[in-house]
């Protein structure tokens, strides 16, 4: 596996991780603001944010599984 492949993998992994981290931080801040103002977060708004975070986490899991499969096939080929 080339250095270029590794860089692309890290880039592809970093993007959904940033989405998950950013989405979680935004959702937490919004909840804190609403708690202070005694407002209620709409179910639709909360659900949308959580779905975006979950999508980012699913993408990270997919990338990691693909990398595991690739690494496993390379190990088998070297034996």
Helices (H), 38-78: 43-78
Counting the structural domains of the chain, the total is 1
Locate 10 and state its tokens: 């890290």
The alpha helices in 3-42, defined as continuous H runs, are: 3-37
- As given in the structure block, the two tokens for residue 12 are 């592809």
In a domain, 3, yes or no: no
47 located within any domain? yes
Provide the domain limits for residue 62: 9-72
Q: Does any domain span residue 30? A: yes
Encode pLDDT of 14-29 as tens digits: 888 888 888 888 888 8
Q: What is the rounded CA–CA span in Å between residue 49 and residue 62?
A: 20
Residue 2 is assigned to a structural domain of this protein = no
pTM of the model: 0.62
Q: 41-51, pLDDT tens digit by residue?
A: 677 888 888 88
Whether 19 and 8 have beta carbons less than 8 Å apart is answered as no
Residue 78 domain-assigned?
no
32: left (phi over 0), alpha (psi -120 to 50) or beta: alpha
């Amino acid at each position: 596996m080339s250095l270029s492949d590794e860089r692309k993998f890290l880039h592809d992994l970093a993007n959904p991780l940033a989405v998950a981290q950013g989405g979680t931080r935004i959702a937490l801040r919004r909840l804190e603001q609403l708690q202070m103002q005694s407002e209620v977060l709409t179910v639709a708004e909360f659900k949308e944010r959580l779905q975006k975070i979950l999508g980012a986490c699913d993408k990270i899991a997919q990338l990691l599984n693909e990398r595991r499969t690739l690494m496993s096939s390379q190990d088998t080929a070297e034996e």
